[in-house]
Structures are given as C-alpha cells and as structure tokens.
Amino acid sequence: MGIGKSTLDKWVRDERLRLADPNALSETELEELSRLRKENRILKMERDLLKKRQFTLPRTHRQVPIRERQF
C-alpha cells in the first residue's frame, strides 16, 4: 500500500476513538482549539491594556493606529 505501519496504526486508533465518542475532537482540532484559546487570551490582554491606556494618554495621542499582530 505504500503506507507506513505507524501511520496506519494511528489512523485505526483515531477512527476507533471517533466511533467510541462521535462528539470527541480530533488531535488536529484539539491543537487548533489550544492555539485559538492562546490567541484569544493574548487579544483580551491587549484589549484590556488599551482600555487602560486610553484614560492615561493625552487626547491627541488616542488617534494613533495600532499595528496588526501576526500569530
């Protein structure tokens, strides 16, 4: 077949887990969920920091654009 034994074993294990609990997330989905939660946590911290800074900056500095973050 041209597929390694460990790859095939992983597919079989993943499928068995999926059949055991159809609502369970795959390994890829769990990794994405973890990444998105981390990104969300960082964005919330930045938002809160900007809210606090808004009241400490002089009015002329409030119009400064914020650069986009790369995740």
For 6-64, how does the pLDDT look when each residue is reduced to its tens digit (9 = 90+)?
Answer: 999 988 988 888 788 878 888 889 999 999 999 999 999 999 998 888 777 666 655 55
- pLDDT at residue 42 in the model: 96
Structure pTM?
Answer: 0.51
Which long-range contacts link 10-16 to residues 24+ away (Cβ below 8 Å)?
none
Q: How far apart are CA 46 and CA 27, in angstroms?
A: 29
